[in-house]
């Protein structure tokens, strides 16, 4: 039971990263390998904001989302957009360069020590569900991430800008003919993905510490979750995140702790081998 | 014409490599150059995958590590001669390259990048956690130097020549592969899989071959690294090493036989120049990668070609 709860909480984080991956992949056609680093940035920005404004969840939460979101939009506008889209390897390299830069910038700015957001930041006391005591950091992670996911789904499927975003994802040239500016919408998608990463960096703190090197592992897990659900599918990313979180915590309790991070790689390879379209996506495999 | 020019460049490179240490026999300088030689092997390995066949790999450091550990453990624990260690390194990295290739041969660019990245991470996790065999995070120390029978390679100068002879052989082998049926098949696959298939090229076979060749090259570099350093430890084979290999290839010119040589030399010497930045070295490195991707996406070869085109227009 404890494992299920832990799995769902970490799964919510994976789902948020996976959605960011999918959103960027669909609109910008880029696999953003620095997504985990944006999350790390979110954690540190949140810590800085707590230092400035005290334990105010609303200001800190919204401030983190805005800061990382704007930064991600800036990255897209200044860096990724300038790299020719047919040079896949160079685009991947650009995202890796950004990741290295952010990791080192964070360790120089905020220090190499792992830090954590104080528990008192999450309002309310522990609650008991079915004989299990849940600390506020955990249930807030679930509540906030599910609210954010719902908001994003509403935005994408019920608003005009959401429709425009999905059109750009479908075909940028058609969207342009319909009077949509794809460049603007790609920047917007990056901003949304950044905001998601920012809030996840804040939420992940009770489970893993905020550390300059945390991005690498989270990146791989978020990507695995996205592929598991079907890369490019937002609902798929949500399901993939929760499923991966559950498999990892339950499976992780059975194997030596050092090897826990191998699970997501095995799942990634298996999914790509057996069902590359994921649970809900389209085929992304070459027929050879 | 192109062939004559390439031969000329090769000859010039061989003379340069042979003469440089005689003029400037400096311990630090030679060790930087030896590392450059190792990177030439590694980047040539990636060139086979990415440059010729069009497959992005972020797991080259994984094969490098497998070669290093295979040879290091065999030679250190059983006292086997270096040649056996090298053979084991080649065999093991080749087999694992085949397995990774089999699991991902049908994947497109970005997916393959993520799988190979995950592979590199897993290799590192195993290196750190399989204490009994790999010595954990500390690694293995006191690995004997390379010897061919009674001939022991110990001085930096001998190392320098050993590495560059092997690197030269690998570059030559790759050059003849590039110009053979196999190389043409690889490049056809890179350009258009469907068209290549119509010509009777089996994409799975040729891609797997590229994986194995690339992994074996990295394994050789790994075995040399182990015996050059006298130790193996997980830190040398992290993601950053894979990224460095990718950066070298793109900077030098992907898909060109001389690309890896230029890239390895420029980046490795450049990284040494960045050393005074201390803690900021990696920060600057990341920043330069981004700058390069934005302003020189085709690397120096692309820059060279653009300049040559301008020159051609001018006259």
B72 CA: distance to closest CA in chain A (Å)? 23
**pLDDT reading at B149 higher than 70:** no
Q: Do A97 and B58 touch (CB under 8 A)?
A: no
Whether B226 has a pLDDT exceeding 80, the answer reads yes
A207-222 average pLDDT score:
84
Query: For residues A193 and A65, what is the distance between their CA atoms, to the nearest angstrom?
Result: 10
pLDDT at residue A241, as a whole number: 92
B152: pLDDT strictly greater than 90:
no
pLDDT per residue over A83-134, tens digit each? 887 888 888 889 989 999 999 999 998 888 888 888 778 877 777 777 777 7
Residue A281's pLDDT is 62
* Domains identified in chain A and CATH numbers: 2-274 (1.10.3470)
Q: Per-residue pLDDT averaged across B286-293, rounded?
A: 88
β-bridge mates for residue A133, sequence order: A128
Give the integer Cα–Cα distance in Å for B67 and A171: 45
**pLDDT at residue A286, rounded to an integer:** 55
In the predicted model, is pLDDT for residue A227 greater than 80? yes
State the CATH class of domain B13-273.
mainly alpha
Residues 229-248 of B with CB under 8 A from A: 239-240, 243, 246-247
* Distance between A281 CA and the closest CA of chain B, angstroms: 14
Give the chain B residue nearest A223 (alpha carbons): B114
Chain A residue with minimum CA distance to B281: A104
Three-state secondary structure readout of A125-137: CCEEECCEEECHH
- Looking up tokens 């993520």 gives B114
Higher-pLDDT residue of B142, B55: B55
Report the pLDDT averaged over residues B95-122: 84
Q: Exposure pattern of A238-277 as b/e (b: 16+ CB <10 Å)?
A: bbbbbbbbbbbbebbeeeeeeebbbbbbebbbebbeeebb
Question: Which residues in chain B have Cβ-Cβ distances shorter than 8 Å to A274?
Answer: none
The residue extents of the domains of chain B are: 13-273
Rounded to the nearest integer, the mean pLDDT of chain A is 85
**Inter-chain touch A276–B286, beta carbons under 8 Å:** no
Give the rounded percent of residues in chain B with a pLDDT score beyond 90.
23
Q: Considering only B47-51, B57-61, B204-208, B267-271, which range has the smallest mean pLDDT?
A: B267-271
Residues of B in contact with A264 (CB under 8 A): 118
User: What mean pLDDT value characterizes chain B?
Assistant: 84
pLDDT at A74: 93
Enter the pTM of the model: 0.84
pLDDT of residue B213: 95
CA atoms within 13 A on the CB side of B243: 24
Q: Cβ contacts (< 8 Å) between B104 and chain A: which residues?
A: 269, 272
Residue A43 is predicted with a pLDDT of 92
Reported as a pLDDT band with limits 50, 70 and 90, residue B313 is low
Residue B315: what pLDDT?
56
Q: 3-class DSSP state for residue B140?
A: strand
Which of A94, A231, A265 lies closest to B293 in CB terms?
A94
pLDDT tens-place string over residues B10-40: 788 788 877 777 777 777 888 888 889 999 9
Secondary structure letter of residue A210 according to DSSP: B
CB A31 within 8 A of CB B117: no
Q: Model confidence over A57-72: pLDDT tens digits?
A: 888 889 999 999 999 9
Smallest CA–CA distance, residue B52 to chain A, in Å, is: 13
């Amino acid at each position: 039971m404890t494992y299920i709860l832990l799995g769902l909480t970490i799964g919510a984080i994976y789902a948020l990263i996976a959605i960011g991956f999918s959103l960027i992949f669909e609109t910008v056609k880029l696999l953003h390998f620095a997504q985990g680093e944006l999350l790390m940035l979110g954690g540190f920005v949140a810590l800085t904001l707590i230092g400035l404004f005290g334990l105010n969840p609303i200001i800190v939460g919204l401030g983190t989302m805005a800061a990382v979101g704007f930064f991600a939009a800036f990255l897209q506008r200044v860096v990724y957009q300038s790299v020719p889209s047919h040079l896949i390897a160079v685009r991947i390299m650009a995202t890796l360069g950004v990741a290295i830069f952010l990791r080192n910038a964070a360790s120089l700015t905020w220090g190499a020590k792992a830090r954590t957001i104080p528990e008192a930041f999450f309002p309310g006391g522990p609650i008991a569900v079915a004989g299990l005591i849940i600390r506020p950091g955990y249930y807030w992670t679930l509540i906030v991430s599910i609210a954010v996911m719902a908001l994003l789904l509403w935005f994408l499927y019920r608003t005009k800008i959401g429709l425009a975003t999905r059109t750009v994802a479908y075909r940028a040239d058609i969207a342009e003919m319909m009077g949509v500016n794809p460049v603007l919408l790609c920047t917007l998608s990056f901003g949304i993905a950044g905001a998601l990463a920012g809030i996840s960096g804040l939420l992940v703190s009770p489970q893993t510490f905020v550390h300059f090197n945390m991005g690498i592992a989270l990146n791989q897990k978020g990507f695995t979750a996205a592929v598991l659900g079907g890369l490019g599918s937002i609902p798929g990313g949500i399901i993939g995140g929760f499923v991966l979180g559950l498999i990892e915590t339950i499976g992780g309790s059975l194997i030596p702790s050092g090897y826990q991070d191998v699970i997501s790689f095995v799942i990634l390879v298996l999914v790509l081998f057996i069902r590359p379209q994921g649970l809900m996506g389209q085929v992304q495999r070459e027929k050879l | 014409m192109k062939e004559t020019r390439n031969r000329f460049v090769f000859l010039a490179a061989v003379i340069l490599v042979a003469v440089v240490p005689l003029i400037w026999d400096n311990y630090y300088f030679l060790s930087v150059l030896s590392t450059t030689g190792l990177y030439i092997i590694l980047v040539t390995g990636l060139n086979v995958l990415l440059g010729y066949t069009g497959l992005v790999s972020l797991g080259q450091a994984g094969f490098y590590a497998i070669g290093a550990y295979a040879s290091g453990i065999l030679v250190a624990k059983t006292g086997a001669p270096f040649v056996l260690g090298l053979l084991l390194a080649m065999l093991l990295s080749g087999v694992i390259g085949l397995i990774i290739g089999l699991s991902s041969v049908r994947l497109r660019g970005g997916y393959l990048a993520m799988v190979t990245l995950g592979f590199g991470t897993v290799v590192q996790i195993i290196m750190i956690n399989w204490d009994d065999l790999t010595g954990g995070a500390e690694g293995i120390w006191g690995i004997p130097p390379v010897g061919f029978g009674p001939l022991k390679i110990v001085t930096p100068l001998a190392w320098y020549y050993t590495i560059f002879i092997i690197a030269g052989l690998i570059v030559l082998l790759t050059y003849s592969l590039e110009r053979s049926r196999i190389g043409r098949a690889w490049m056809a696959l890179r350009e258009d899989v469907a068209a290549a298939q119509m010509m009777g090229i089996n994409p799975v076979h040729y891609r797997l071959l590229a994986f194995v060749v690339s992994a074996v090259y990295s394994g050789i570099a790994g075995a040399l690294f182990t015996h050059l350093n006298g130790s193996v430890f997980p830190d040398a084979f992290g993601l950053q090493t894979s990224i460095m290999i990718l950066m070298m290839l793109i900077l030098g010119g992907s898909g060109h036989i001389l690309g890896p040589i230029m890239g390895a030399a420029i980046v490795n010497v450049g990284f040494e120049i960045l050393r005074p930045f201390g803690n900021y070295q990696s920060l600057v490195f990341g920043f330069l990668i981004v700058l390069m991707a934005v302003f020189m996406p085709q690397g120096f070869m692309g820059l060279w070609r653009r300049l040559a085109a301008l020159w051609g227009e001018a006259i």
